[in-house]
Chains A and B, each alone.
Chain A
Amino acid sequence: MRQLILSFILLQPLLFLLYMLFISGVEDPIKFIYTLTGATALTLLYITTTLSLLRRSINLLRYRRTVGLFSFFYALLHLLNFLILDMELDLVSALNETFDKPFIFFGMASFLILLFMAITSHRSLFPRYFKYHKMIYIVILLSTIHFVMAQKALSIPQWGYLGVMALISILKVLQRSGIVKL
Chain B
Amino acid sequence: MHYRRKKSWEISESFVTDEVLFEGRRRFLKLGAAMTVSTSAVMELAASEKLPMPNLHYRKDTNPLGLVLNSYDQIISYNNFYEYTTSKKGVRQLARNFKTEPWRISVDGLVENPFEIDFDDLLNRFTLEERIYRFRCVEGWAMVVPWVGFELASLIRYAKPLSTAKYVRFETLYDPEQFPDQRRKFFSTIDYPYVEGLRMDEAMHPLTLMTVGLYGHTLPPQNGAPLRLIVPWKYGFKGIKSIRRITFTDHEPLNTWQKMASNEFGFYANVNPDVDHPRWSQKHERVLGKFIKQKTQMFNGYEKEVKHLYAGMDLRKHF
Contacts and interface: CB of A to CB of B under 8 A. Distances in A.
Contacts of B88: 27-28
A158 B283 CA distance: 28
A179 interface: no
Contact of A97 (B139, B281, B291, B292): B281
B85 interface: yes
A93 B82 CA distance: 32
A134 interface: no
Interface string B274-318: 001011110100101111110000000000000000000000000
Interface in A35-59: none
B78 A149 contact: no
A156 B291 contact: no
A27 B289 contact: yes
Given A28-B286, A101-B280, A150-B279, A85 B291 contact: yes
A153 B279 contact: no
B291 A153 contact: no
Contacts of B86: 152-155
A86 B293 contact: yes
B141 interface: yes
Size range of the interface on B?
20 to 34
- Chain B contact residues, majority secondary structure: loop
A136 to B, nearest CB: 25
A28 B291 contact: no
A27 B88 CA distance: 10
Interface string B260-284: 1000000000000000101111010
Interface residues of A, number: 22
A101 B279 contact: yes
Contacts of A85: 291-293
B293 A155 contact: no
Contact of A101 (B82, B139, B281, B288): B281
A111 interface: no
Given A150-B279, A156-B187, A31 B292 contact: no
B279 A30 contact: no
B290 to A, nearest CB: 8
A156 B289 CA distance: 27
A153 B82 contact: yes
Given A155-B85, A155-B86, 5 more contacts: A27-B77, A30-B291, A88-B292, A101-B281, A155-B87
30 contacts: A27-B78, A27-B88, A27-B89, A27-B288, A28-B286, A29-B286, A29-B290, A30-B286, A30-B291, A31-B286, A85-B291, A85-B292, A85-B293, A86-B293, A88-B292, A88-B293, A93-B283, A100-B281, A101-B279, A101-B280, A103-B279, A103-B280, A150-B280, A152-B138, A152-B139, A153-B86, A153-B260, A155-B189, A156-B184, A156-B187
Interface of B: 74, 77-78, 82, 85-89, 138-141, 184, 187, 189-190, 260, 276, 278-281, 283, 286, 288-293
